[in-house]
Amino acid sequence: MKQKIPAQSESTAPRAMLATVARSEAAHVGYYVRGFPSNVLRSLLALGRGLVASRNLILYLAPAALLTLVFFVFPLVFILYMSLQEWAGLGPSTFIGMKNYEFLWQDDVFHTALANTLSWVFVGIFIHTPLCVLVALILARQPFMWKFFRTVFFFPNVISTTAIAFLWYFVFHVDLGLINNVLKAVGLSGWTRPWLSDPQTALPSIETPFIIYIGFGMVLFLTAISTIPREYYEAAKLDGASDWQQDWHITLPLIRRTIALQCLFVVGYCLKMFEYPFIMTSGGPANTTMNLSLYIYRKMLAANVYGLSMAAGVVTLLVGLVLLAVVFIVLRRFEKE
Amino acid sequence: MPRVFRWSVLLLFLAITLIPFLWLINASFKSSAELFANPFGLTSSFSLENYFSSFAVHPLHIYFRNSVIVAVLSTLLALTASVLAAYALLHRFRLSRPAFVFLIFGLFLPVNAFIVPIFFIIHSIGLYNTWWGLILVYAGISLPLSFLIIKTYMDTIPRELLEAAHMDGASYHRTFFSVILPMTMPGIVTGAIFLMITAWNELLFASLLTQDETARTVQVGIRFFLTTYSANYPQAFAATVMTIVPTILMYVFLSNRVIAGMTAGALK
């Protein structure tokens, strides 16, 4: 049993009394009408006294609450409201209803941005995450130097995405790039191409560094696997199950929640993904690598259409909510089985 | 899974992870001519010429100063707010559950959707293109995760200690400073590592909220080595290496703590 301690025991008794009084008062809504205004004043006084009693609480919560209000609550309300306005940043805004959303609905660049963001999520969940699981399964058996591999695989996560995007820009570089030069060296010169400026290969190319940086998910899975009781595997071994069968029938079902968690991270990561398109291709060629993040940024900085930028932000939030719900629904399906 | 398959997977990922970095470091010592003539050969000289000359092209040292100040102060601010709030929530009160949800609901929001309002908040309080603008924004957007890290850690402190402190007549503040704060220190260090690395690596808000050397951070700075006319690649590589050295050093010496720090928010 978890025991909880009241905020301030010295003042518990009067506060509890106040709470009881307030509750019984609230039970009779009519009271507020009949005895107006003295009763309201009395309630306000009671509230005030309650606040004074919990001033420590307020004092300690204030900085965090203030930051949350300023950087999450206010922006959320602001973009919901201002996405219905036409606003150039200076001067008053004009209410235009759903016009911004209608524009997005018809804008080809926005369609590409949305489709590309979903493509990031897709490869994140169906290619990146399975790779994380695969490597975690291998390292969980603690092969020779497994700690070294774990450390190296996690390493890109501490490097800025800017630097990694910059680095992979050169991996795909036409003349200097590792890829084209390796292709030439093995006699496949026909396959070389300007990867990042060819509309066909630009998107897969900028998604590559994300797909193969597996460290974060790998650590999540390794931690989850380490909590599985060893007896399960020993019992399976006695029954003659191979390593592969053990992984498939014991490990995978038991880390399904961590897989769901990883999918949530992938969704969050992909919705915020900005550096790879921004640095490797600037959204080009011909907007083929545009994504939601970059679209919001462009509409704000380059085009000064703030209402539109915020409408795109609202769509991003909605996409996030839908994907969140999908992950939870799929997880629940698996839990039931 | 057969042994061969396992080892080829491990070695493949090892190569993919390390080769680009080794190439970058090697290329950062070359001259432009050497780079184009022989992009993969070992550099002919390990001269630090590019490292020194890159400072002359763009004021990297100023970008470094800005990045350090912003990373350290935003970490301090976010941690202070998180620790205070987590302590308040250690006590039970009527709205403690809603208060907890209120403080972490931002975890699920993609903050890049908020760049317009955040830009205007910072602009309207006169903090555009200043350290404090970035510090406030970083502290604000990383608060849900840092609060969760600290709260998770604080919840592992035995409740008896809180009761004992109370029995001994320690006040609300005294209990915080003498009992809870010292015991939360490992959690705070974990949070600090995570916050410093994320703040150092942030690009979107850094490019949105800065304009010139006054506040521009290294992540924004290294981009200029590529976009300026007549870009000198090896110089850009040298600059990039320098910007990733601080986090690499942190990782080399504290790899287990860093891994714990970066995944702490996820593992609870």
A224 falls within a domain: yes
CB contact under 8 A, A160 and B163: no
Domains and CATH numbers, chain B: 3-47 (no CATH), 54-263 (1.10.3720.10)
Of A71, A151, A316, the CB nearest to B110: A316
How many DSSP H helices and E strands does chain B contain? Answer: 13, 0
Residue-level pLDDT at A49: 66
Do both A286 and A171 map to the same domain?
Answer: yes
Indicate the average pLDDT of chain A.
85
Mean pLDDT of A57-82: 93
Distance from C-alpha of A265 to C-alpha of B126, rounded to nearest angstrom:
34
Mean pLDDT of A191-218: 91
Task: Give a three-class secondary structure readout of A230-293.
Answer: HHHHHHHHHCCCCHHHHHHHHHHHHCHHHHHHHHHHHHHHHHHCCHHHHHHHCCCCCCCCCCHH
Q: Is the pLDDT of residue A204 over 80?
A: yes
Tokens representing residue B249 in the block:
């050093």
Model confidence at A36, pLDDT cuts 50, 70, 90, reads: low
Do both A114 and A171 map to the same domain?
Answer: yes
Closest B-chain CA to A60: B84
Instruction: Tell which wins on pLDDT, A262 or B229.
Output: A262
Q: Encode pLDDT of A149-180 as tens digits.
A: 999 999 999 999 999 999 999 999 888 888 99
Distance from C-alpha of A23 to C-alpha of A143, rounded to nearest angstrom:
63
Do both A164 and A311 map to the same domain?
Answer: yes
Distance from C-alpha of B156 to C-alpha of B167, rounded to nearest angstrom:
20
Do both A18 and A129 map to the same domain?
Answer: no
Q: At B129, give phi and psi (nearest 5°).
A: 60, 35
Residue-level pLDDT at B230: 62
* Number of structural domains found in chain A: 2
Do both A5 and A106 map to the same domain?
Answer: no
A60 falls within a domain: no
Q: At A95, give phi and psi (nearest 5°).
A: -75, 125
Residue-level pLDDT at A16: 47
Give chain B positions within 8 Å (CB) of A296.
112-113, 115-116
Distance from C-alpha of B120 to C-alpha of A52, rounded to nearest angstrom:
34
8 Å CB contact between A83 and A100: yes
Residue-level pLDDT at B229: 60
- Which DSSP string corresponds to B40-81? SSPPS----HHHHHHHHHS-HHHHHHHHHHHHHHHHHHHHHH
8 Å CB contact between B205 and B116: no
Residue-level pLDDT at B268: 54
Helices (H), chain A: 12-27, 29-34, 38-53, 55-68, 74-82, 99-106, 108-123, 129-140, 146-154, 161-171, 178-185, 202-212, 215-226, 230-238, 243-246, 252-254, 256-272, 275, 292-301, 306-336
Best to test chain A binding among B116, B146, B180 (most A CBs inside 10 Å): B116
Q: At A94, give phi and psi (nearest 5°).
A: -115, 135
Q: Which of B258, B5, B171 is nearest to A11 (CA)?
A: B171
pLDDT along chain B (268 residues), means of 10: 86 93 91 84 82 86 95 97 94 84 89 93 93 96 93 89 86 89 92 92 93 90 76 87 91 85 72
Distance from C-alpha of B55 to C-alpha of B60, rounded to nearest angstrom:
5
Percentage of residues in chain A having pLDDT higher than 90 = 53
Do both A44 and A126 map to the same domain?
Answer: no
Size of interface A-B (CB pairs under 8 A): 266
Mean pLDDT of A113-131: 96
A227 falls within a domain: yes
Q: Token match 């399976």: residue?
A: A236
Q: Which amino acid is at B154?
A: M
A325: contact with B, CB 8 A cutoff: no
B54: contact with A, CB 8 A cutoff: no
Residue-level pLDDT at B195: 93
A46 falls within a domain: yes
Do both A330 and A236 map to the same domain?
Answer: yes
Q: Token match 């820009």: residue?
A: A169
Model confidence at A37, pLDDT cuts 50, 70, 90, reads: low
Do both A132 and A215 map to the same domain?
Answer: yes
Instruction: Tell which wins on pLDDT, A5 or B204.
Output: B204
Instruction: Tell which wins on pLDDT, A21 or B79.
Output: B79
Considering A36, A53, A70, which residue would you say is the last residue of a domain? A53
Closest B-chain CA to A307: B116
Q: Which amino acid is at A143?
A: P
Give chain A positions within 8 Å (CB) of B10.
135, 138-139, 143, 149
CATH number at residue A204: 1.10.3720.10
Do both A249 and A326 map to the same domain?
Answer: yes
Give chain A positions within 8 Å (CB) of B191.
none
Do both A37 and A131 map to the same domain?
Answer: no
Distance from C-alpha of A49 to C-alpha of A54, rounded to nearest angstrom:
9
A86 falls within a domain: no
CB contact under 8 A, B143 and A78: no
8 Å CB contact between A161 and A276: yes
Give chain B positions within 8 Å (CB) of A61.
84-85, 88-89, 99
Residue-level pLDDT at A190: 83
Query: In terms of residue numbers, what domain contains A7?
Result: 1-53
Mean pLDDT of A250-255: 92
Do both A228 and A297 map to the same domain?
Answer: yes
Percentage of residues in chain A having pLDDT higher than 70 = 86
A275 falls within a domain: yes
Residue-level pLDDT at A296: 94
Do both A207 and A293 map to the same domain?
Answer: yes
Distance from C-alpha of B163 to C-alpha of B168, rounded to nearest angstrom:
9
Residue-level pLDDT at A137: 94
Give chain A positions within 8 Å (CB) of B21.
167
Could you tell me the pTM of the whole model?
0.86
Tokens representing residue B198 in the block:
């994320």
A22 falls within a domain: yes
A89 falls within a domain: no
